[in-house]
Amino acid sequence: MSHVTIEDVAKIVTVQAGAVVSKVIQRDAEVDVTVFAFDAGEGLTQHTASRPAIVQVLTGRLQFTVDSEDVNAVPGTWIYMSPGAQHAIVAVEPTVMLLTLLRPER
């Protein structure tokens, strides 16, 4: 397949009470793309990614901490992280975000 089209990525997952939900929407030799839904107060504890990563907030609001910097991430926020960047996420309100993990050239 030479392309993938999704009309409204934010509708791929539904926020569920007290949960973090995710769905992979693209995985190939170049990228992994996953849509996450966080209920308010839910998140991911501090961690790192071994690959370059891009986070895009689609709906809601996240308290996103990357390399000890707090970012109030609202719809339209775009965050690029180099491999190894320490980051954590807490949803301030129900939120949907898009995570793209890149595979660097070998």
pLDDT digits (tens, 9 = 90+) for 52-105: 999 999 999 999 999 999 999 999 999 999 999 999 999 999 999 999 999 877
Please give the Cα distance from 14 to 43 (Å, whole number).
15
User: Is the Cβ–Cβ distance between 62 and 92 less than 8 Å?
Assistant: yes
The pLDDT value given to residue 104? 77
- Its pTM stands at 0.93
The pLDDT value given to residue 33? 97
Average pLDDT of the residues in 27-46? 96
Please give the Cα distance from 106 to 99 (Å, whole number).
22
Please give the Cα distance from 58 to 25 (Å, whole number).
15
- Domains of the chain in sequence order: 19-102 (2.60.120.10)
Q: Answer yes or no: is pLDDT of 9 > 90.
A: yes
The pLDDT value given to residue 38? 98
